[in-house]
Structure 1
Amino acid sequence: MSQLEDDCLFTQAEIERALDAMAEQINQHFSALAEPLVVLVIMKGALVTAGALLPRLKPRLLLDYVHASRYRDNKAGVDLHWSHKPSADLTGRTVLLVDDILDEGVTLKAIRDYCLTQGASRVGSAVLVKKRRAQPSLMEADFVALEVPDRFVYGFGMDNNELGRNAPGIYALAD
């Protein structure tokens, strides 16, 4: 993996502008919320996105995280592996899931469904990138900062075999 060989899809500045726009949409959508918005960061990939997004959000926030994944060695598995479920009480709460990428939507849907079974009254989702795929995802995100082609991408929190999360942009692996 070399950023010099891979295709830069979005620079740091382009990502920042997209996060500004997404944050404005989120702020408008949740402006009338009386209770704090529960933000669940989906680890590990969304750590960087959340760190950049949270200071842009205006509602009062209660921050927690979830760690669940189907990916091992850059390949999607069948079973969802839970490393950490949210510790916040979700009963009657409005939840915003923050994730790095929406691909097939399996993981995001499973986490959303889990939140609903835990009593969340409403669950929204915000993703840094959505892949443009021939097949539709199992669910759509409510807020999307950027769209990428159906290629393997890394950077800004997304990884390639656990590397490249700190790349200052979003890159697609060279063909």
Structure 2
Amino acid sequence: MATTALQGLEVLYTRQQIAERVAEMGAEITRDLKGEKLVMVGVLKGAAPFLSDLARAVQVDATFDFVAVSSYGKGHRTSGAVKLIKDLDETVEGKNVLIVEDILDTGLTLSYLRKLMLNQKPKTLRIAALLDKPSRRIEKIDADYVGFSIPNLFVIGYGMDYAERYRNLPDICLMTPDHPE
């Protein structure tokens, strides 16, 4: 595995691998929508880079909205309780909605968001997750579009953080227990 010059971290997926997979996901989403409009709902903060790249890869009339939730606080272990910090700016009733998330881990956050959005009666509701960690699933939920399936590793970069750090790394890197903070 390669290392990134910044921080000496081990790279799991390079920016090139990410770009190629995001382009493929965009083509899948475009095909599935058959020219219909889309509301892309980014889950802040981690999904922001993924949403930006995915939006450029989706070839339909798309708008953005954002939600912010918390289940991790400042650490790397989930508290188990999901708290809504920022709700949607507009209703998604009758619209095609794509929740865009950086990582599908325990499933707690996406299960919560799916219920929240379904209450508004969207026309369709799909989920795109850049990373999927099925071994950590607590809530039974799957994404409709998945970038990469990974084992139980702690990853940072491309929007994903450790205590709000490393989000700006262009690659997805491994955060090892012995890495200096």
TM above 0.5, one fold? yes
CA distance in structure 1 between the aligned counterparts of 2:45 and 2:116, rounded to whole angstroms: 18
Q: CA RMSD in A?
A: 1.6
- Aligned residues: percent identity? 28
Q: Which amino acid aligns with 1:55?
A: R
2:31 aligns with one of 25, 28, 31: 28
CA distance in structure 1 between the aligned counterparts of 2:143 and 2:71, rounded to whole angstroms: 18
Residues 9 and 148 in structure 1, CA contact (< 8 A), matched pair in contact too: no
Which structure's relative contact order is higher, taking Cα pairs within 8 Å and 6+ residues apart? Answer: 1
Q: 1:69 matched to which residue of 2?
A: 70
User: Taking structure 1 as reference, are residues 121 and 87 closer, same or farther at Cα in structure 2, changes over 3 Å only?
Assistant: same
Q: Does 1:103 align with 2:110?
A: no
User: Taking structure 1 as reference, are residues 135 and 126 closer, same or farther at Cα in structure 2, changes over 3 Å only?
Assistant: closer
Q: Which is worse superposed, 58-67 or 130-139?
A: 130-139
Structure 1 residue ranges, 4+ long, deviating more than 6 angstroms after superposition: none
User: Taking structure 1 as reference, are residues 137 and 60 closer, same or farther at Cα in structure 2, changes over 3 Å only?
Assistant: same
Q: 1:17 matched to which residue of 2?
A: 20
More strand by share: 1
Task: Quote how far apart the aligned CAs of 1:91 are.
Answer: 1.2
Q: 1:60 matched to which residue of 2?
A: 61
Give unpaired runs (5+ residues) of structure 1.
Answer: none
Task: Quote how far apart the aligned CAs of 1:138 are.
Answer: 2.1
Task: Quote how far apart the aligned CAs of 1:135 are.
Answer: 4.9
CA distance in structure 1 between the aligned counterparts of 2:176 and 2:10, rounded to whole angstroms: 6
CA distance in structure 2 between the aligned counterparts of 1:174 and 1:152, rounded to whole angstroms: 7
Give the total of aligned pairs: 171
CA distance in structure 2 between the aligned counterparts of 1:134 and 1:81, rounded to whole angstroms: 20
Q: Which amino acid aligns with 2:50?
A: T
Q: Which amino acid aligns with 1:162?
A: E
CA distance in structure 1 between the aligned counterparts of 2:174 and 2:164, rounded to whole angstroms: 15
CA distance in structure 2 between the aligned counterparts of 1:127 and 1:135, rounded to whole angstroms: 14
What is the SS of the residue equivalent to 2:126?
strand
Q: What is the TM-score with the length of structure 2 in the denominator? A: 0.88
User: Taking structure 1 as reference, are residues 135 and 116 closer, same or farther at Cα in structure 2, changes over 3 Å only?
Assistant: closer
Residues 127 and 145 in structure 2, CA contact (< 8 A), matched pair in contact too: yes
Q: What is the TM-score with the length of structure 1 in the denominator? A: 0.91
Residues 103 and 137 in structure 1, CA contact (< 8 A), matched pair in contact too: no
What is the SS of the residue equivalent to 1:77?
coil
What is the SS of the residue equivalent to 1:133?
helix
CA distance in structure 2 between the aligned counterparts of 1:96 and 1:121, rounded to whole angstroms: 11
